[in-house]
Amino acid sequence: MTTNLRIAFLPLNDVAVLAAARERGFAEEEGLALDLVRTTSWATLRDRLVYGQVQAAHMLAPLAVAVTLGLSQQPAALAAPFKLGVNGNMLVMAKDFAAALAPDPAARLADPLGTAHDFAAAIGLWRRKPIIGVVHRFSSHALMLRYWLASAGIDPDRDVVLRVLPPSLTVEAIHAGEIDGFIAGEPWGSAAIESGRAEAVAIGQRIWQRGVEKVLAFREPWLEENPETTDRLLRALARAAVWCDEPDNREALADILADPRYVGQPSDLILRTLSGTIVPRAGDAAVSCPDFVLFSREATPFPWRSQALWIYSQLVRWNMVEPSAETEARAAAVFRPDVYRRALAGSDLPMPGASMKLEGAVGAPLGVGSRKGDLLLGPDRFFDGRVFDPERIEDYLAGFAR
Amino acid sequence: MRIVIIDDSGLRATVLEEGLREAGYDDIHIVPPRGAFVARLERMAPDVVLMDLGSPSRDTLEEMLTVSRALARPIAMFVDQSDEAMIGAAIDAGVSAYVVDGLRKERVKPVLELAVRRFNAFSRMQTELEEARTALADRKVIDRAKSILMNQRALSEQDAYALLRSTAMNQGKKIAEVAQALITASDLLGGV
């Protein structure tokens, strides 16, 4: 018997795993019919999930934590047993702002620390406080942008204006001069570059080499009441993720995503960053960036609790939540490695033995303890070399000026 | 009570505004979600904000509600969190509502119910309009196919239509589809 599942998403490249699960038959093999509900704002996606109009959602990981902590409208306990991707964001700035930075955009991307300091200097030269678009207060993009700006002594709440706007309106807003740049998921950065108005200034993967991004979020009670359906969905998604990461499938994947039912942007634009290349300025040579976005390798979908705690640490850092042991525990519990393990126990995917790890400690590919198969973790450094120890969050936060 | 409607579609906003005015609300403002709409909204200090759930600008609005001093501590989505049916109806209709903290539930509920009814009426109107448009387009296609048949096969208008209809029935297709196929074939063959 087929089980119908409604899952809400936003039009972004990293809906790839869900789209592939539906379009390439992985869901069907598990007896699931996926109804993917295209949504235009994170607020509406959140409401559809919280009020039960969909069973699951393609959600910003920090938003899942924020909803659970009651920071974003109606509080609801959410659970994220599967990550839909790692990395995938790009910061672009209007050409005239970028003119104050290193002239070669490829060199900017390669040196995030130097570029952050150049950015700090450029703020003083700009005609107003720079307005940078972010997709949501509780987005990985906003947290990474804040982290990066702060490394050069920029106070993101004082020295720049962070303006929330939906990814699909960013290109128009930069044309109209309403914003001076934005950080968003693909293909929106590439689209702004292609329009000739903006240049790449930083990419998520060079800020944190393995940055937590979208998760598949459920209402926790639904997840507990439907273990069998959840497991089937996770198995289908795990196979879809393997398919998405296979370089030979990238063109087919870009074609799926180009459809107006998903992203609705040109296939070649979508393919660009999916296949690990960036054109940092219109007409420039492409820069290779093979880890721009990951779907499956290195156990990408595994929801490390330490990553939920990193999000919590940043919410505390930016005064978005009052720190407490209880809040910390609730934030960590949003990520559900136990459900991931249960669902994928019978698969041949490498399964991490631990649920937490140091974040930012791997400099070169590292083999780690795994229940089966070989699990190789890729480099996951933060560009400033800091290491996040989930058991010493206070010490970690004390290390930042703010 | 000051009500602000944030909407891109002039027509839908008008439909909603009319309904509210008929119900006796007279302090109503329509703001399109463009440019500096958040600053405008802040100056207006509304008691209730109604917005299309499908608007991509909801995140922008919520951010403003989070940081705004003008609207103090707003804002609960929907009037009564425990009223699941109401919430479902609002989401189905595509209405999202923001209400200033402290405004009594019984004052807001009729506004929201009215918005839900009007949004539903509007989408019915849209559907009917779409159907009417399709019907008109179909008729044009059928008329053209008929004239091709009348010219090429020297049929009367009635016979040309009968031929299209019987072909459609035999092939299990719509008349408009058969007519379109005929037009395409005729164009390819360099016909009229």
> Which residues of chain A does B65 touch, with a Cβ-Cβ cutoff of 8 Å?
none
Minimum Cα–Cα distance from A37: chain B residue: B54
Could you say which of A41, A51, A74 has the minimum Cβ distance to residue B59? A41
Compute the radius of gyration of chain A from its Cα atoms: 20
pTM here is: 0.86
Dihedral sign computed on CA atoms, order A126, A128, A134, A138? positive
Q: DSSP letter at A135?
A: S
Q: Residues A368, A377: contact at Cβ < 8 Å?
A: yes
CB contact (8 A) between residue A176 and residue B66: no
CA distance A267 to chain B (A): 23
Q: Does B10 touch chain A (CB under 8 A)?
A: no
Minimum Cα–Cα distance from A53: chain B residue: B88
pLDDT in tens, chain A (402 residues): 799 999 999 999 999 999 999 999 999 999 999 999 999 899 999 999 998 999 999 999 999 999 999 998 888 999 999 999 999 999 999 999 999 999 999 999 999 999 999 999 999 999 999 999 999 999 999 999 999 999 999 999 999 999 998 888 899 999 999 999 999 999 999 999 999 999 999 999 999 999 999 999 999 999 999 999 999 999 999 999 999 999 999 999 999 999 999 999 999 999 998 999 999 999 999 999 999 999 999 999 999 999 999 999 999 999 999 999 999 999 999 999 999 999 999 898 989 989 999 999 998 888 877 766 678 899 999 999 999 999 999 999 999 976
Q: Where are the beta strands (DSSP E) in A99-251?
A: 131-134, 161-164, 181-185, 198-203, 214-219
Q: Residues A353, A371: contact at Cβ < 8 Å?
A: yes
**In this predicted structure, what is the pLDDT of residue A402?**
62
CA distance A193 to A251: 21
CB contact (8 A) between residue B91 and residue A48: yes
Could you say which of B66, B75, B91 has the minimum Cβ distance to residue A47? B91
> Which residues of chain B does A166 touch, with a Cβ-Cβ cutoff of 8 Å?
56-57, 59-60
Q: Residues A183, A133: contact at Cβ < 8 Å?
A: yes
H/E segment holding residue A224: helix A220-225
State the best of B58, B65, B73, B99 to mutate against chain A, taking most chain A CBs within 10 Å: B58
Q: Does B181 touch chain A (CB under 8 A)?
A: no
Q: Residues A256, A265: contact at Cβ < 8 Å?
A: no
Our measurement of the distance from residue A267's CA atom to the centroid of its chain's CA atoms, rounded to an integer in Å, reads 21
B70 pLDDT above the threshold of 60: no
CB contact (8 A) between residue B59 and residue A51: no
Q: What are phi and psi of B114, to 5 degrees?
A: -65, -40
| Number of alpha helices (DSSP H) and beta strands (DSSP E) in chain A | 19, 16
CA dist B85 to B24, B79, B80, B88, B89, Å?
A: 25, 12, 10, 5, 6
**In this predicted structure, what is the pLDDT of residue A223?**
98
CA distance A141 to A132: 11
Q: Under 8 Å CB-to-CB from B143, ≥6 apart: which residues? A: none
**In this predicted structure, what is the pLDDT of residue A73?**
81
- Other beta carbons within 10 angstroms of residue B192's beta carbon come to 11
**First-to-final CA distance of chain A:** 54
Could you say which of A48, A137, A178 has the minimum Cβ distance to residue B66? A137
CB contact (8 A) between residue B91 and residue A178: no
- Other beta carbons within 10 angstroms of residue A361's beta carbon come to 16
HEC string of B101-161 equals CCCCHHHHHHHHHHHHHHHHHHHHHHHHHHHHHHHHHHHHHHHHHHHHHHHHHCCCHHHHH
Minimum Cα–Cα distance from B84: chain A residue: A51
Q: How many CB pairs under 8 A join A and B?
A: 62
Q: Residues A401, A321: contact at Cβ < 8 Å?
A: no
CB contact (8 A) between residue A178 and residue B81: no
CA atoms within 13 A on the CB side of B69: 0
Instruction: Give the mean model confidence (pLDDT) for residues B36-61.
Output: 84
Q: Residue ranges of the alpha helices (H) in A176-324?
A: 188-194, 204-207, 220-225, 227-245, 250-258, 267-274, 305-317
Compute the radius of gyration of chain B from its Cα atoms: 25
Q: Residues A272, A290: contact at Cβ < 8 Å?
A: no
Dihedral sign computed on CA atoms, order A295, A19, A41, A119? positive
In this prediction, residue B74 has a pLDDT band, given cuts at 50, 70 and 90, of very low
Q: Under 8 Å CB-to-CB from A321, ≥6 apart: which residues? A: A69, A71, A312, A315, A327
Tokens encoding A215 = 């998760």
Q: What are phi and psi of A27, to 5 degrees?
A: -70, -45
Q: What are phi and psi of A390, to 5 degrees?
A: -60, -15
> Which residues of chain A does B75 touch, with a Cβ-Cβ cutoff of 8 Å?
73
Minimum Cα–Cα distance from A164: chain B residue: B60
